[in-house]
Amino acid sequence: MAEFTFPGEINAELFTIEVMDAMGLDISLILECNSALSVVRVPLDLSAAQIQAIQAILDVHDPTVLTPAQELIEQRRQKREQALADYLTNALKGMTPNEAAQYVEDNVTNLASAKKAMKVMARTIVALATYALEAAT
């Protein structure tokens, strides 16, 4: 078993991919990590050259870089947060169906105000649908 240390946290998924890409070595990690130090244990018998190669990969490892799967998860999280923020700043937030109907009654007096009210409703529908769909995935 080889043991490596890394200052700070490590992106284990990315590090595993980096080792696979550079060395063709499929490793499983035993990882102990906190904000100050990560200890990576590779439960394999490694040659001195493999240990040096893994250490070199670890030396340039950037834990802030995301894998494609992590990027997708982050994009979904951001989209969900934006949908919620859009809803929370919307004029219809917290209204009951009767209050929303009254909003339309009070604010729609001509074509221009009807368009304005429809835009508010469209934003609300899209924000809620986006939030619900993103929360479900």
Where are the domains positioned within the chain?
Answer: 2-59, 68-136
Q: Which of 94, 71, 88 lies closest to 131 in space, CA to CA? A: 88
What tens digit of pLDDT does each residue of 8-36 get?
888 888 988 998 888 887 777 777 777 77
How sure is the predictor about 95, in pLDDT bands with cuts at 50, 70 and 90?
confident
Tell me if 15 sits within 8 A of 61, measured CB to CB. Answer: yes
For 58-87, how does the pLDDT look when each residue is reduced to its tens digit (9 = 90+)? Answer: 999 999 999 999 999 999 888 878 777 766
DSSP assignment of 31-73 equals EEE-SSEEEEEE-S---HHHHHHHHHHHHT--TTSPPHHHHHH
User: Of the given ranges (42-56, 61-75, 83-97, 104-118), which has the lowest mean pLDDT?
Assistant: 83-97
Task: Classify residue 106 as exposed, middle or buried by CB count within 10 Å of its CB (0-12, 13-18, 19+).
Answer: exposed
CATH number of the domain located at residue range(s) 2-59 in this protein: 3.30.1370
Q: What is the pTM of this model?
A: 0.57
pLDDT for the residue 137: 66
Buried b (16+ CB within 10 A) or exposed e, 30-44: eeeeeeeebebebee
- Distance, in Å, from the CA atom of 34 to the CA atom of 84, rounded to the nearest integer, reads 31
